[in-house]
Structure 1
Amino acid sequence: MKISFHGATRGVTGSCHLVTCRGRRILIDCGMYQGGREIEEENRGDFGFDPSTVDYLLLTHAHLDHCGRIPLLVERGFRGEIITTGATRELARLVMLDAAHIQEEDARWKSKKAARHGRRAEDIKPLYTTLDALNALDYFGRTARYNKPLKLWDGIQATFIDAGHILGSASIVLELEEKGCRKKVLFSGDLGYPDRPILRDPAHPPPVDVVVMETTYGDREHKQLLPSVQELYEAIMSTFRRGGNVVIPTFALERSQEVLYYLREGVEKGDLPGIMQVFLDSPMAISATRIFSRHPECFDREAYRIFHDGRDPFDLPGLQFTRETSESMAINAIRGGAVIMAGSGMATGGRVRHHLKHNLWRKRCSVIFVGYAARGTLARQIIDGAREVKIFGEVIPVEASIYTIGGFSAHAGRSQLLEWFRRTGDPEHVFLVHGEEEAMESFARTLGHRHTCMPGQHETYQL
């Protein structure tokens, strides 16, 4: 039995871990790297293993940094079975098709730019195409249900348990047996935290022998949720009093729905105007919001009750969905009084970059970040206090008010990670992944476990 690490090693994105047992190869996630310009080379780089030799891909959830390279995996030879929950299957399809579209658009833009400067344009190709993403869908096989073991092979069994991170997210327990040796290996995936709206709390993990654990917030707690909601309301009202717009870069999955949930509550409780212009300017977020309504099995009691009563927890007066590009462009004519939610959360692409270009330089406006921003991203530059940033090749001064409201993060904070880990018993080995190196080191010291490791890229360990 072996485990090797091919992404999210001493970094936050690109989750990809490979287990070998009984001659079978099981991949846990195949995510895209996100961040600075050099990230493109990492995404195009070698996986560190031959995709054609992988028998199963178990997908923890549908965020891009966990599923975003699946079409490339298939294009390079994967012919195994992809297994995940029903909600993740739907959301991953949405995410991969959207990513392919962005890759194609970006390649077209770069080709035109190269041609204008007399450089070869035919060598510029997308990481993968829409056809590649559609081909990848053919390999989604059985649907996992929470707490129901799935036999992959003789001596290999997988159980998905609720991670409470986004709709359909899971931690995965692999039960392995080879040559009389038995091991339980637990992959945390990304973990949520208790008492958030919409989703159930993360399930308690079982005692296991090996833990592969995320450490996004391994060195800190995120802000409390309810004070963060109040801070959101106050930031919106302050901006409206100045006569400006509010731009909220949001992840299409979970964060958009959560913000809509609280905007609706704010209107109902009188903390926000009874009618205000709210734009959800993200075709993917719009589709994801529709998918949510089809998966009440993932909801907590309160969200389920709202749906059961015939109401929509994500709807509020003045909400407008803008799918078409022309509708998105029309928003730029609005000078004040609008809340503009657009992807992506780290401002690495998507329509939010256009809205930042039109509002970031205006002192009356505000930009509210409600999620994690990896190093090298436009969001992180703004959060870290950049006085000016480059958007579409143009230098834009940062004059708008900048808010970072951490309580909306879908990741468990330090104490919640520790509490989750304590439920795993006394594992023989702990591998820390999916976090910045400083966060991992801090969490490792706090953990104080005798066999804690921060694996490097493509490193292999015997289990």
Structure 2
Amino acid sequence: MSLHLHFNGAARTVTGSCFLLETDAARVLVDCGMFQGSKSERELNYRDFPFQPAGISALCLTHAHIDHSGLIPKLVKAGFKGPIYATAATVDLASIMLPDSGHIQELEVDQLNRRNRRRGRPTVAPIYTAEDAVACLGQFRPVPYSEWQPVAPGFRARYWNAGHLLGSASIEMEVTPDGGGEPIRLLFSGDVGPDHRLLHPDPDGPVNLDYVVLEATYGDTDRTGVTQERRRRLLRDEVRAAMQPSGVLLIPSFAVERTQELLVDLLELMEAGELPDIPVFIDSPLATKASAIFKKHAGELRNGSDLVQALGSRWVRFTESVEESKAIDRIHSFHIIIAASGMCEAGRRCHIN
């Protein structure tokens, strides 16, 4: 048996994670992520896949972040019909994040096409739509941590907690020769969480591997002095500074994970008397849906009970509609708005005055 590993993304760039393992018996993908960043990087999402999607036996997904999962709807639309293996929490997050990604692409392409029509240029189509994203969800198959899962002929996988995002995993893969014998053992790290995560235990993983494919975005950077106490102290000082004069503190935040961590920190500071009781508005439909998923999986999280308590606080309010979002402008006392997106390039944050 010959085993070939192809790097189709996340090589010489930090997004677009996509690895192909190929034998005579099967072809298995690990991740199928979207390229993010500069215009030239985003344009890579429109190119054809460097493999035949219909010939892929299975896809193993490390986690739901779009740079690891964002091209799955395109893969399915192009002919992939196999199973997509991911942890249960990743399946739940993908069910909201992929349609949201499709919706954003539809909006961005609609705006671009309006400009193209005015300039006499040809119109373009989105990479995929929200409907395409919903269509791919039926191929997801939830798998538990720490248990071997057959994924294709000669391939089996085991998922290890990566400590990065709810449901995130490093994927151990064993590939057995056609005629038997010792398997080749690989680990695909996905994104590995740092120390002092509020909601996650430290990452876990196997030993005695033959090959490790490791994400190394910050591999040459030591992050020192980061503790829960220091993080909350910095947040407390920023909130106190924003209270003078009274008004509003707008916090751009990623809807998934970062918003939930912020909520726990803010409510803990209020509970400890470090901050007064302050209304906190979650002004993001995606963050609202994600928070419900985090609550569902709270038992898998460290400090999960604190998150459930924060989500149920009378000081936390979720805006469901555009009208509710606009109504926040009529509040004159000090309040906090947490709104997408964390990169300040999309979401309701762009419409807050």
Q: Is the 8 A contact 2:25 2:154 kept in 1?
A: no
Cα shift readout 1:62-121 (whole Å, capped 9, x = no counterpart): 111111111011111111110101110010110001111111122222233334x25356
Q: TM-score, normalized by length of structure 1?
A: 0.71
In structure 2, the CA distance between the partners of 1:229 and 1:96, relative to structure 1 (3 Å rule), is same
Q: Is the 8 A contact 1:252 1:284 kept in 2?
A: yes
Question: Which residue of the partner structure matches residue 127 of structure 1?
Answer: 127
Letter of the 1:252 counterpart? A
Question: Which residue of the partner structure matches residue 354 of structure 1?
Answer: 351
Displacement of 1:323 after TM fit?
2.5
SS at match of 1:164: coil
Question: Which of 193-202 and 29-38 deviates more?
Answer: 193-202
SS at match of 2:293: helix
Question: Which residue of the partner structure matches residue 318 of structure 2?
Answer: 321
Cα shift readout 1:270-290 (whole Å, capped 9, x = no counterpart): 11112x231111111111110
Question: Which residue of the partner structure matches residue 265 of structure 2?
Answer: 262
**Distance (whole Å) between structure 2 residues aligned to residue 199 and residue 315 of structure 1:** 20
Letter of the 2:275 counterpart? L
**Distance (whole Å) between structure 2 residues aligned to residue 102 and residue 293 of structure 1:** 25
**Distance (whole Å) between structure 2 residues aligned to residue 320 and residue 132 of structure 1:** 31
Query: Residue 25 in 1 paired to residue 27 in 2?
Result: yes
Cα shift readout 1:382-421 (whole Å, capped 9, x = no counterpart): xxxxxxxxxxxxxxxxxxxxxxxxxxxxxxxxxxxxxxxx
Q: Is the 8 A contact 2:264 2:310 kept in 1?
A: yes
In structure 2, the CA distance between the partners of 1:290 and 1:146, relative to structure 1 (3 Å rule), is same
Highest relative contact order (Cα 8 Å, sep 6+), 1 or 2? 1
SS at match of 1:87: helix
1:351-390 alignment, distance < 5 Å: 351-355=348-352, 358=353
Q: Is there any run of 5+ residues in structure 2 with no aligned partner, and where?
A: none
**Distance (whole Å) between structure 2 residues aligned to residue 154 and residue 42 of structure 1:** 31
State how many pairs are aligned: 347
Letter of the 1:73 counterpart? L
Q: Is the 8 A contact 1:264 1:314 kept in 2?
A: no
Q: TM-score, normalized by length of structure 2?
A: 0.91
SS at match of 1:241: coil
Question: Which residue of the partner structure matches residue 70 of structure 1?
Answer: 72
Q: Is the 8 A contact 1:71 1:136 kept in 2?
A: yes
SS at match of 1:260: helix
SS at match of 1:251: coil
**Distance (whole Å) between structure 2 residues aligned to residue 42 and residue 312 of structure 1:** 42
**Distance (whole Å) between structure 1 residues aligned to residue 90 and residue 72 of structure 2:** 13
Q: Is the 8 A contact 2:170 2:205 kept in 1?
A: no
Q: Is there any run of 5+ residues in structure 1 with no aligned partner, and where?
A: 359-463
Cα shift readout 1:314-370 (whole Å, capped 9, x = no counterpart): 343432211312333344565772322112222232222333xx3xxxxxxxxxxxx
**Distance (whole Å) between structure 2 residues aligned to residue 172 and residue 325 of structure 1:** 40
Q: Is the 8 A contact 2:165 2:193 kept in 1?
A: yes
**Distance (whole Å) between structure 2 residues aligned to residue 14 and residue 164 of structure 1:** 20
Q: Which runs of 4+ in 1 moved over 4 A?
A: 332-336
Question: Which residue of the partner structure matches residue 49 of structure 1?
Answer: 51
1:43-442 alignment, distance < 5 Å: 43-115=45-117, 117-120=118-121, 123-141=123-141, 143-178=142-177, 180=181, 182-222=183-223, 224-226=226-228, 227-274=230-277, 276-300=278-302, 302-304=303-305, 306=306, 312-332=309-329, 337-355=334-352, 358=353
Q: Percent identity?
A: 38
In structure 2, the CA distance between the partners of 1:219 and 1:334, relative to structure 1 (3 Å rule), is farther
Cα shift readout 1:18-39 (whole Å, capped 9, x = no counterpart): 1113431111111111112333
SS at match of 1:313: helix
**Distance (whole Å) between structure 2 residues aligned to residue 299 and residue 24 of structure 1:** 35
Q: Is the 8 A contact 1:303 1:313 kept in 2?
A: no
**Distance (whole Å) between structure 2 residues aligned to residue 237 and residue 317 of structure 1:** 21
The alignment's C-alpha RMSD in Å is 2.1
